[in-house]
Each structure stands twice: as structure tokens, then as C-alpha cells.
A and B are shown apart, each in its own frame.
Chain A
Amino acid sequence: MKTFNNSNDVFATRIPMVTFIFLGLAPLAIVWYGAFIFNFNNADNLFLYIIQIGADSIAMMVLLGLWITILIDVIVENHHRAHKNQDVSFLKNEHPTIDIFITVYGEPIEIIQETVRAAASMEYINKKVIILDDGKSDEVRYLAKKLHVYYYRRRNNSHAKAGNVNNALNFSKSDFFAILDADHIPKKKFITTLLPFMADKEIAMVQSPQHFSNMHDFIASGTAQAQEVFYKYVCPAKNISNSAFSVGTNVIFRRSAIDEIGGIVLNNSEDIWTTFLLHKNKWKTIFVNKVLAVGIAPTTIISFFKQQRRWAVGGLDILINENPLHTKELDIDQRIQYFISSTFFLVGIPIIVYIVMPLIYLLTGQKPLVIEDGVLWLIHYLPYFILYFTLTWLLLGQKMLISTMSTALASFYPYLMALFAVFFSTEQEWVATTSSKSNVDPIMKWIWPHVFLLILSILSLIVGWYNPIEFWATFFNSLWVSLNIFLLIMFLSKSQMK
């Protein structure tokens, strides 16, 4: 695939030529569609119209956020970027100490074993591998003994992973520390690739991407394309404005920087919050786009939803309680980047609206827009619609997978749960991605909205075609509902429940 810049600079994103089509097309499609829907003359039922344009505005804003991020990456040429030196001599000259924290909470022992073994065999001598076991498992303790690594089990489990790491900082005195989730297996060159960037004394955090190996599972493959866009475009672009944030694993922190902000933030989204505080204190962070650890993506619905909800809570927490656009300590680029990343999680609102709106029409005949013969609306809507369906091709050169659309559709529930939780400030329980403790809930507790919407969608098709007053409106809404039915059925049937 032809790319824009072929340098081996770890900071450069390799942008395929086809992405320029996206850059040109996206604003046009958005404006063209907007011209139709933001025209009040096209409004039908006023209440529904307001909801529709509200949802569409959020969707457009998220799309534009992505567009801005990619555009910045294209515009800012390599030699303008502040080059951070990967100074390999740093390791040889200063012999920095580094502790590798492996946070464990009930993951399967086979996986923990892989991770610990890999961590122990990473290249670099001045390291200490420490298992931080909140699962309080003797089996894991025995494993630590067998593999000659350190083991620590704190007395309680307060503040989950964040508390776990902070506790370890009490007795860890190394210059740097890395965090690895128990299911993320590091490569040999993890330390030797990332640590040299710390030669620049202003850098507090070096983050590498999360990469998943289990792509044959429905949910895992469904999130893969979104993940790829994130790590291929979004994270590297953030380097330009010094707004790369931690994702909680595969990361190295500078001990003194963390001390300065008072430890890892004790919060369920400690990754983004810690980075946020570092930025406020004028520390620098960088993202290195090299896969240096391989993890396991969530495969069951419950673990997937919990993960999504956790990420959404982090982002929305910053958006609603901190309002990044007005944070004085950050410069304007950083504020924009934090704003874009956190507003992404509002996408739960347009998703649920897109599911429910055609149902409302088929059941009650009420619709937000006037669609007489469908032609005018279709003309305005089609480019926008095509843009959505070709997004993965334009950005990654891959065709849009059904699993991607399906999991994206189903994600409305954890995102809305997160929105609710942040608004009403309820405490969330942190659960590791592959923890066996994650599947205590009955499945319906997490998928009842999807089952409900599925049943209602099927019934609404029958109701809608009983003496339809407007043929074309009924037809298009039926198409939309049928697509949603298909995606919901795929999600519920192909994903693992447990």
C-alpha cells in the first residue's frame, strides 16, 4: 500500500494515499448532509427533529475530530516535529533502574505464566519483575517463585489497579517503572526500545500500542479495526501536540514525575487521568508506534462491555468534570486533543437514536424529517452514508467487517451506562479483561436493551407495513431497521456469552 511518508521514524504514521480521499471527502459529505438536516423546512415532527439533529451533530463532531487529527498528522511534516531522541547510549551510560509491574487480578494462570516468562526474559539487566497480585492467589505466588520473580500481595484491594500500583510504589525505588496487564505479553525488546526515550529529562511517559492476537473471535475482530485506527492515526498524531495519553498497559513511567503528581490517580480510569495530570504539570509524553507487547482482546460480551464502559467513563469523566477546553495548564493543542478523545464516547447517543428513530416511524408514523418521495433526502444522505461504510477502507485499506459494525452498534449500551454513571457519579467496579471473576452477572443484565430492541424491531416491521401511508418513508425505514436487526442478531449469536 503506497504511503505518504516512508520514513522509519517511529513517530511518523504511515498514511496510505487512499486516506487523502477521506480527508477531501469527509467534510464535503458532512456539509452536504448537514445542508439538508439543519434546514428547518425539512423538519416534520419537531420533537423528533431536535433529537435527530442533536444525534447527528454528535456523530458529525466525532467524525470531524478524527478528520482534524489525521489532517494535523499530514500537514505537520517530519522535520517540523520536535524530535525526541531515542538515545540508546542512555541505557549504557546511566544504567537506569526499572521495575516491571505485572498487575494480576484473577486472570487464567496460563496467561499470567506467559506474561511473566516474557517479562523476565526481556533484554536489559537492570530490571526487576514484580507481580502485583490483587487476586491473592497462591498459585500465582508459586509461579513467581518458580520463575524467580518478585511477588507482592497487598492487604486490601482498594482502588483496584491504580491502588495496586500506588501501593507498589511504596517499596519500589527504581528510576522508572513499567505497567503490564497480566494478559499482555511483552516482547524482548520492550525495555530497550522504549526506555532510551527517557534520555530526554522532560519526558514522563512512554507508551506503546496495545495489539491483540485473538482476532478470530467475533468481538475481538469487531474491535480490531477501531483499535487500528486509534493506534495508527490518533495516537501518533497526538505526539505532535504532546497529548499522547496512557492506555494503562505497555507503558513506562518516570518515577519522579509520578511522585510529583502524587502517585497514580486513584480512579477507575487512572490511565487517562494520570496523563492528564502529567500534562497539567508540563511534563511531556510520547507514543511509540511499535508493537512491543501482544495482548488478548475481550471475547465475551460482558468483559467487552465492561472494558468499553471503563474507557468511556474515563473519557467522559474528563469531559464533564474537568472540561478540557478550559484547562488553563494545557496549551490549546492539548486541550483540543483531550476534547476530541473524550467526546468520542458520546457516540452512544447517536447510535441509540439511529436504532430507535426508524422504529418510532414504523410504529407511529412520526418522523423527524419530511421525506416525500425520498429522493431529495437520499441525495443528501447517500455520500454521508457511503463515507461511514467505506471508513475502514479509506483509513486502513480494509473492507468494513460485519463484526466491526455489529460491535460498534452494540456498544451504545456501555457508552450510555458510562454517561449515566459520570453524570450521577456512581462508583464503578474495575474488572480485568480476561478475569474469570468478570462473568458473575447473568447475561441478560448486559444485553436486555439489545434483546428488547431486536424484538421491537421485528414487530415494528409488521406494524409498519400495515396500511403504510407513505411508501418510500416506510421502505427506507424498513431497510434501516432490517440492517439493525441483522447486526444485533450477529452480535448476540456470534459473541461468546461466557
Chain B
Amino acid sequence: MKKEMKFKEILINTIYFTAVFVFATLIATQSLARKVNTFQTINSPVFFYVNKEKVVVPTVVAGTVKEIMVTPGQHVSEGDLVVRIDNKMFERKIILLEQNAQNNLSAKTELDILRERRDSYNIYAPKDGVVYQMHTSEGSYLQSGEGAFTLFADDNAHLISYVTPVQYGEIQKNGEVSIYSKRLQQAFKVRLNGIGRVTKDPIAMQSNVNNAAQARKYELIFHFENSEDGAVFIEQESLQLMNAIENEAIKRPMEKVADLWNALIIGGKLN
């Protein structure tokens, strides 16, 4: 009887202890997981998004679009013909005037003027770039001054990045920043040009980051050191900050412990 009581007592003690141990570990693991998430948000790799200069090319003359010479996505050089506006009426008028021009001085003057305007029925690309969007189609009518198409200029590309205050500090320390394009397998140098908006970071706020100031995102604007570099990129293409890629390899010891814990208990990946 006494042995039975003793066993029962040991059993109850073990159950209590296990419950307490599991509960405590659960709480601590949960807290750690949240902290890891926050850490990854704060120290996540910094991405740069290419923003090209958008040029809207209008038509000077009003008229029906006769022919569109390019497709969206096509690269054009400065001076390439992009859109032809229907000039049938116009040409007929010129022929009429040509017939009258020998005798009639005003007709000749008008003819000269019209000949000068002939080119307006062709819309050319104003600079090198990639055609983004046609705002019209063959057979549509365009008002004078209305935009015919938009292209992304090759030059004047800049890069936008959204960073945390901590990352901003890091970037400021290095005057020149190197970024890397996975697509092109090539690194480029960029320079910080200015700060855009400062917004609240919803992810960081969710993870209950302690300091409200830490939960902000700065919009940073960069230019290519070499302005021609921008040409190879398409709008919104992303590149990554090179420094961050290097730093990921070096983790503080506590983070290694946390990773191990993660792997053991949550079954997360061991970095």
C-alpha cells in the first residue's frame, strides 16, 4: 500500500513538472519566434526598385491614327517613328495647293506652311527608351495635345528603396553603395540622392517592436553613378544591396542559439 502511494505521488509530481515545463517552454518559444520575425524584418535584405523616367509623348495635330509602328516593350532610339496619323486630307490639300501654287502667292505661302507641318503627322520617340504603353490604337481619333504613347527613358533612371532607420544609418555610413542584379549577374554603383516619404511599417508594428521610431520606413532615392547603366533595366526591376548579402553570413552567437532552438522545437530551417 505504501509503495503504491509512493508511486502515485511520483506520478503526480512528474505530471505537474512536465506540464509546467512544457508550458514555460511554449511561452518562451513563442516569444522567441516573434523576436526572430522582428529581427528578420529589421535586418532583411534591402531591395532597390528601378524607377525610370516616364515620358508621355503627345500629338501636335489632331487626327485619326493611321499606323502604329512599334509594340509596347519595344526599345526605340531617339527619332524613331512611332505613330503615324492619318494625313489623307492633309496631303490632298497639299496637292490642291501645289496645283494653285504657281499662280497664287497666298496658295504658295500656305503650301510652304503646310509642308512644314507635314512632319507633325508623324510622332517620333523624343529620346532613347522602351515603349511602355500606347494610349491609342489604329483608327482612333486623337485630339491635339493628347498623349499618344508613353515611354520609359533610358537615361535618368533612379532607384527607390524602403529601409528601416537602422538600415538607413548603415547606408549613410557608406557614401557609395553597391547593388547587385541577379538577372545580369553584375554589380552597379549607386549614390544616395534624397529621401522621399517616411511611412509607418505595418509589419514591424505588428511584431510589437518596442520603439515606435523603429517601426518606420524611409523611402530613399538613388541615382546610378554611371547614368547610362540605367538603360539595361526595366521599370520596377529589383536589385539587392550588396553589403547586406555579405553580412548575413556573420550572426551573433545568440542568434545561432536561437536558430538551433528554432530547428529543434519548431522545426524551422537551420541557417
Residues of A with Cβ closer than 8 Å to B?
363-366, 442-445, 448, 451-452, 455-456, 459-460, 462-463, 465-467, 469-470
Contact = CB atoms under 8 A, between A and B. Distances in A.
B9 interface: yes
B35 A466 contact: yes
Given A365-B210, A467-B254, A445 B28 contact: no
Given A456-B28, A467-B35, A451 B17 contact: yes
Contact of B13 (A443, A455, A459, A465): A443
Main SS class of interface, A: helix
Interface string B32-69: 10111011000000000000000000000000000000
Contacts of A459: 24-25, 27-28
Given A365-B210, A445-B12, A466 B28 contact: no
A463 B12 contact: no
A46 B252 CA distance: 33
B214 interface: yes
B210 A451 contact: no
Report whether over half of chain B's contact residues are helix, strand or loop; otherwise say mixed.
helix
B23 to A, nearest CB: 7
A445 B17 CA distance: 10
28 contacts: A364-B31, A364-B34, A364-B208, A365-B209, A366-B208, A366-B210, A442-B13, A443-B13, A444-B16, A444-B17, A444-B20, A448-B16, A448-B17, A451-B16, A451-B21, A452-B24, A455-B20, A455-B21, A455-B24, A459-B24, A460-B28, A460-B31, A463-B28, A466-B35, A466-B36, A466-B257, A470-B210, A470-B211
B255 interface: yes
Given A452-B20, A456-B24, A466 B258 contact: yes
Interface size class on chain B is 20 to 34
Given A364-B208, A448-B16, A452-B23, 13 more contacts: A363-B28, A364-B31, A444-B17, A455-B25, A459-B24, A463-B35, A466-B36, A466-B254, A466-B255, A466-B257, A467-B35, A467-B38, A470-B211
Contacts of B28: 363, 456, 459-460, 462-463
Q: Which of B209, B210, B258 has the most CB of A within 10 A?
A: B210
A456 B209 contact: no
A469 B214 contact: yes
B271 to A, nearest CB: 14
B264 to A, nearest CB: 13
A462 B17 contact: no
A469 B209 contact: yes
Interface in B1-35: 9, 12-13, 16-17, 19-21, 23-25, 27-28, 31-32, 34-35
Given A363-B28, A459-B28, A466-B255, A448 B39 contact: no
A203 to B, nearest CB: 48
| 9 tightest A-B CB contacts, nearest first | A444-B16, A459-B28, A363-B31, A455-B24, A456-B24, A365-B210, A442-B12, A452-B20, A444-B13
Contacts of B20: 444, 448, 451-452, 455
B12 A444 contact: yes
A42 to B, nearest CB: 15
